[in-house]
Amino acid sequence: MAHIFELAESLSAGAGANYANGVRTGANPSQFPSTEAFSGFNRPSRIEADIHDLDITGKIPADIDGTFFRIQPDHRFAPVYESDIHFNGDGNVTAIRLSNGQAHFRQRYVHTDRYDHETKHDKALFGKYRNPYTDNEAVKGVIRTAANTNIFFWRGMLLATKEDGPAYAMDPDTLDTIGRYDFEGQVLSPTMTAHPKFDPKTGEMICYGYEAGGNGNDGSRDIVVYTINSAGIKTEECWYEAPFCGIIHDCGVSDNWVVLPMTPLKCDPDRLQNGENHWAWDPNEDQWYGLAPRRGGQPSDIRWFRSKNAFQGHTVSCYEAPDGKVVFDLTIADGNVFFWWPSPDTPAGTVAKRNKLQNNTTRWIFDPSLPTGSWVDPVEERGEYGGEFSRVDDRFTTMKYNHYWQCVIDGQKPYDFPKCGSPAGGLFNTLGHFTWDNSAAETYWAGPCSTFQEPAFIPRAGGTEEGDGYLVVLLNRLDELRNDVCIFDARKIAQGPLAVVHLPFKLRLGLHGNFVEQSEIDAWKEKRAKELGPVRAAVEPLPWQKAEGHIGNGV
C-alpha cells in the first residue's frame, strides 16, 4: 500500500493552541493541527464545486469521451488527535469530464454514515485510524469507514471504497451518494477491499475483505473472498484464516487464482484497547502471499508463501503461465514505508529515513503445487527507478501483458525545496512507461516544482492493441498550490502531454481513480431505467452491528 510516502514529515505535536497533550480542545475546535499532514499542499481542500469548460493548453484528443474519476482523503473537520494522518480523511470524489475537446470539473464528498454523524454534530467524532476505542461515545456502533481510497464504476453506479468498511454507491453523473451498498444483501462482511479486480473475459468482479471476522477494526485474522458475476450475482464466497492480522491492501487475479499479499504491519487487539495505533511494523516478520482458488474454494485450500521482510506496494498485474504457475507483479520496498506506524518499541521514523528505502518493481512466480509455508524469492527485481501507483491496460487484466506505467522518483532531477518545501506525497517527479520485454523504457519529468499522482489508462477508440491509448494523470503544482490534469499518448509519454487541463485551485493528495467511457455509463443508465431499476442502497444493519445491539443501518 505504498502510495503516500511523505504525508507527515513530522507527526509530532505542533504549536496549535487547539490541542493539548495531542488531543483537540475547545479553544479553537475548527483549527487544524500545525503538522506536516495538514500543512502546505497537504492542507485539506474541503472543496465541493462544479466548473464548466476548464482552461486547456494543447488539445484533448477528439476520441476521448468519458470521465476520469479519482478520490482523495479530505478532512472536513479538525481531527480529534493532533497526530492524525491523511488516510483518515473523508472521501471526496473528483470527476473530470472529457468530451468534444472540453473538460468539466465536479467534486462531492461521499456521504458515509461517518459523514452524516459528524455533520449532525458539526465536528469530528471518530478518533485514531481504525481504532474505535478512541471514538466519541455518540458514534458507538456506527460504520467508521470514510470510503476514501478508490472509486470505480460497476453496473451503473460508482463505488467508493476503503478497506476498513463496506462500499458506498454514488451516481456517476451528479456524484450524489445513494448509500451504503451491500450488493443487494449479498456481501455482508464488515470490510471490503479498495482494489477489486475485474475480469474482462467474464465480466466478474473479484473482491475480498481482510480483518473481516468481527467489526472490521478488531484484529480479526479472517479473510473473505467473493466473486460477483456480470449479472450482479454472488457466485463465490470463501473464508480463510491469515497467519496474523496484517495489511492486505491490493491483490492479483489470474484465470484460476487470487493472490493476497500480506505486509508485516500488524494489528494487536490489546494495543487497540489501550488507545494505540491500529498498525505496528514488525521488522522480524516475513512478507506473506496467500494463493487462493478463484472458484470452488474451501477454507483449507489457501496456500501461504513466505519471503524476506519487506513492504508490499501496489499490484502491477497478474496472470498464469502455460505451465499453470502464477505470475504476480507488484512494487516492493525494503522497509516500512508507513513510518508513522513503527514497531511498538521504536519511535516514529522520518521522511529522510523513508527516502533511503529502495522501491522495486518485482516479479514473483508461485507454484500452486507447493505446500503452504514454502519459501519464495522474486524472479526479477527492477531497481533503476523507484516507482509506485502502477497501472496497466485494464483490458488485459488476468492475461499476459507487457506495458505498464508508474509514478517514478527520479533523484537525479533537481527539486526546488526553497520554493516548494517538502514534496507532498513523495517526490514522484516523473512519469514512467516500461515493458517487460524491454522494448520501451521512457520517462517524462514534471519539472523542479511538480509531482504526479496516480495515472489511469484510456483505450484509444476502436483500438485493440495493448497500450494503444492515452494516460490521464493529476499533476501537483507545488509552488502554485494548484493542480493540472495532463493527458499523454500512453506509448509516447516522453514527448510530453497532448493536453493540460488547468484547475484554478489545489486538490488534496488523492489515492486512486479510474477512467470510464461515457458509452458505458449511458448503456447502464438505459439498462437501469428499462430493466433493472435504480441502485438499491443497503437497508439492514451489518451483522456485527446487530450482534452488538445497533439498529437502523448504523445510524
DSSP-based three-state secondary structure for 506: coil
C-alpha dist (Å) from residue 314 to 3, 175, 195, 301, 359: 8, 27, 9, 25, 11
Burial 169-180 (b: 16+ CB within 10 A, else e): bbbbeebebbbb
Residue 144 in contact with residue 129, Cβ under 8 Å? no
Say if residues 444 and 26 touch (Cβ distance below 8 Å). Answer: no
512 is in an annotated binding site: yes
Which letter does DSSP use for residue 494 in this model?
Answer: G
Alpha helices in 293-358 (DSSP H): 351-354
Query: Which is it for the CA torsion 133, 136, 138, 143, positive or negative?
Result: negative
Q: What are the beta bridge partners of residue 263? A: 247
Any known ligand binding at 3? no
| Bridge partner residues of 94 (DSSP) | 70, 107
Per-residue burial over 267-279, b = 16 or more CB atoms within 10 Å of its CB, e = otherwise: bbeebbeeebbbb
Cell numbers linked to 336: 516500512
Q: Which residues does residue 399 pair with via DSSP β-bridges, in sequence order? A: none
Dihedral of the alpha carbons of 454, 460, 463, 465, in degrees to the nearest 10: -30
> Quick check: 195 and 263 in contact, CB under 8 A?
no
For residues 338 and 301, what is the distance between their CA atoms, to the nearest angstrom?
31
| Cell 511523505 found at | 6
Q: Cα separation of 479 and 157, whole Å?
A: 36
Q: What are the backbone dihedrals phi and psi of residue 43, each rounded to the nearest 5 degrees, phi first?
A: -60, 135
- Which of 527, 456, 506 has its CA nearest to residue 486? 456
| 111 annotated ligand-binding residue | no
- H or E element in which residue 350 lies: none
Count the helices and strands in the chain (H runs, E runs).
6, 34
Q: What is the arrangement of strands in the sheet containing 234-241, beginning at the earlier edge strand?
A: 197-198, 205-210, 222-228, 234-241
Annotated binding site for Fe cation: 195, 249, 314, 512
Q: State the binding site.
A: 195, 249, 314, 512
